[in-house]
Chain A
Amino acid sequence: MTDVISRRALLGGFAATGTLLAACGRLDEKSPFHQLLDVADGFTLHAQRLILSSRPLVRELPVSEISKTFPTNGTTMPKADYYKRMLDTDFRDWKLRVHGLVDRPLALTLAQLQSLPSRTQITLHQCDEGWSAIGQWTGVQLSRVLALSGLGRGARYVVFHCLDKIDLDGAYYYESLDLLDALHPQTILAYGMNGKPLPVANGAPLRLRIELQIGYKNAKYVDRIEVVDSLNSIGKGRGGWWEDFDHAVWYAGQ
């Protein structure tokens, strides 16, 4: 969704489209239109939870299906000085922090993450722009990391705080999952892609793979994981950067 935010600056439009869509799009956040959107998204969430009650895995593909090229989207090189320093030293000094409603806050180096049992999966990545590509991801299951930290009382959501900015003047990227998706066996913190270390453009040192949901939920450059009881205190309260600043749906399993 690299450029989607900017498309709000579109000019003109077909008269018929304009009138109807403007009615939906130009309203403040608490508008009934946006509430209707959230109701529909909740409907989708609950319907899909019912359908996914047997906790199926998404399809995994053979090596021969891996896409020759994998598009990079969103940020491809974080601008923060901190990130550049970490990159210069191959992330040796970088640590993934896990905090919030956990029993044992963690600070794990990349080497420590890599020493945990790993999972490798070849899956179809789908962007909400419409394109898709197949990649192989290697990482540690998020459930393993959360098992190390333990979950505190009231823990409901897992928030991923990232090192990149879509809007360079704005907030750092963030995303969130509820526990059911966070603990899915294919939800991994990936440090490898297609048999190699995760490239910078794909989110080095660590990115989220949430195979049950669409592209923008798969946060890149994950720096810190926060377990919370509510998304209200995160950003503007909708649980993710695109959700807050472009009113994307929070549950994106559609």
Chain B
Amino acid sequence: MGAQGNLVTQQLDYRHPWPVRIWHWVNAAAVVVLLLTGLLLFDIHPHLYWGEDGHAGIPAFLSLSGTDLDRAVPQTELQIGSRRWDVTGVLGSVIDDGFGGKYLLVVAAPEDWEFGATRGWHFAFAWILALSFLLYGLYILVSGRLAKMLLPMRSDLTLRSIAHEVWQHLRLRRARGQAARNYNLLQKLSYLFVIFVLIPTIVLSGLTMSNAMTAAFPDLFMLFGGRQSARSIHFLAAMLLVLFVFVHVFQVFVAGFFNLMRSMITGRYAVDREDSV
């Protein structure tokens, strides 16, 4: 309903307690910085491998390469498995290294950007992401929010209810009244997937690229099937997180931008009163 709704007909739920709100925005900022720095790091070697070692001469399952780097828009090719696509002008831009060499980048960086510092920034914000995530995880467990807000109810998990949810989503129908007070099933499942699968996978696969961490915990290599597999999984999981962010933001617009932004800033979420008894 949001701003357009008549407040007389609405009641404001206190939906998001402050720890959740703070975590949400800290996490959002960290994810943005991690994505940008992560893409810059990927830029330097835009090839994904499986196993322990991966470098020029070892087949990559995903690779971005360019030819004719002297042209303003170079011939650029994306390869996934044995398939190849011409992505000239879509992905990749060429830079001159000042020593007569040219390189192909996925995303361009601003002038004067220090590439050496890129890892530093990535790790600084990885700390922020990981620590705030741990605190958030502890909070949702201890406060009961996990059980109350995030875990699906038994009644949600019937085929009929699932089919109904999917249908509502496909029609972009927003929940009203009492139903709007709770997260819907698909919402719960996507949040649970991000919290229990995506973020832990990203953090652990990131740690598997650390010499020191794997010295202490060599099982990380087993978990991800090798150093390069971990890098690939890190990248692919990050792309899934990007997909989540896109859908998440899209849903905010579908379900009422003002109301949802208010609820994640002040905690207050408006529900229609006439339906809510």
Binding site for B on A (CB under 8 A): 1, 3-14, 17-18, 20-22, 24-26, 34, 36-37, 39-41, 43-44, 48, 51-52, 54, 56-59, 61, 65, 67-69, 71, 124, 126-134, 211-214, 242-243, 245-249, 252-254
With A7-B97, A134-B52 given, name 8 new contacts (CB 8 A).
A6-B101, A25-B113, A37-B120, A40-B124, A67-B55, A68-B57, A248-B116, A254-B209
Given the known inter-chain contacts A9-B97, A58-B214, A254-B212, please indicate yes or no for A40 contacting B127, CB distance below 8 A: yes
Question: Is B99 close to A, CB under 8 A?
Answer: yes
Closest to A210 in B: B211
Q: Collect the chain B residues with CB atoms within 8 Å of residue A65's CB.
A: 52
Q: Collect the chain A residues with CB atoms within 8 Å of residue B99's CB.
A: 3, 6
Interface pair A56/B215, CB less than 8 Å apart: yes
Q: In B201-232, which residues have CB < 8 Å from any A CB?
A: 209-218, 221, 227-228, 231
Q: Collect the chain A residues with CB atoms within 8 Å of residue B121's CB.
A: 24, 37
Q: Collect the chain A residues with CB atoms within 8 Å of residue B44's CB.
A: 4, 7, 128-130
Interface pair B215/A52, CB less than 8 Å apart: yes
Q: Collect the chain B residues with CB atoms within 8 Å of residue A242's CB.
A: 116
Binding site for A on B (CB under 8 A): 32-33, 36-37, 40-42, 44-45, 47, 52-58, 93, 95-99, 101, 103, 105, 107-117, 119-121, 123-124, 127, 209-218, 221, 227-228, 231
A130 to B122, CA, bound (A): 14
Q: Collect the chain B residues with CB atoms within 8 Å of residue A211's CB.
A: 211, 215
Q: Collect the chain B residues with CB atoms within 8 Å of residue A71's CB.
A: 55-57
A4 to B93, CA, bound (A): 16
Q: Collect the chain B residues with CB atoms within 8 Å of residue A4's CB.
A: 44, 115-116
A248 to B44, CA, bound (A): 15
Output the least CB separation between A237 and chain B (Å): 15
A170 to B137, CA, bound (A): 49
Partner of A10, one of B101, B113, B120, B216: B113
Given the known inter-chain contacts A68-B57, A128-B119, please indicate yes or no for A26 contacting B110, CB distance below 8 A: yes
Interface pair A7/B45, CB less than 8 Å apart: no
Given the known inter-chain contacts A17-B107, A254-B212, please indicate yes or no for A22 contacting B113, CB distance below 8 A: yes
Partner of B53, one of A18, A132, A243: A132
A147 to B40, CA, bound (A): 42
Given the known inter-chain contacts A132-B53, A243-B116, please indicate yes or no for A18 contacting B231, CB distance below 8 A: no
Output the least CB separation between B206 and chain A (Å): 9
A59 to B93, CA, bound (A): 38
A6 to B111, CA, bound (A): 10
A172 to B113, CA, bound (A): 23
A248 to B108, CA, bound (A): 19
Interface pair B227/A126, CB less than 8 Å apart: yes
A11 to B127, CA, bound (A): 30
Return 20 A-B CB contacts under 8 Å, by A number. Answer: A4-B44, A6-B96, A8-B114, A9-B95, A14-B108, A17-B110, A20-B32, A22-B110, A25-B117, A37-B124, A40-B127, A44-B123, A58-B215, A59-B215, A130-B44, A131-B47, A246-B116, A248-B117, A249-B123, A254-B119
Q: Collect the chain A residues with CB atoms within 8 Å of residue B113's CB.
A: 7-8, 10, 13, 21-22, 25-26
Closest to A48 in B: B212
Closest to A70 in B: B55
A9 to B127, CA, bound (A): 29
Given the known inter-chain contacts A6-B97, A37-B121, A248-B120, please indicate yes or no for A20 contacting B52, CB distance below 8 A: no
A9 to B114, CA, bound (A): 9
A128 to B55, CA, bound (A): 12
Q: Collect the chain B residues with CB atoms within 8 Å of residue A14's CB.
A: 107-108
Q: Collect the chain B residues with CB atoms within 8 Å of residue A56's CB.
A: 215-216
A127 to B52, CA, bound (A): 13
Given the known inter-chain contacts A14-B108, A212-B211, please indicate yes or no for A248 contacting B119, CB distance below 8 A: yes
Closest to A4 in B: B115
The 8 closest A-B pairs by CB, nearest first: A246-B116, A253-B212, A248-B116, A6-B97, A40-B124, A130-B45, A131-B55, A247-B117
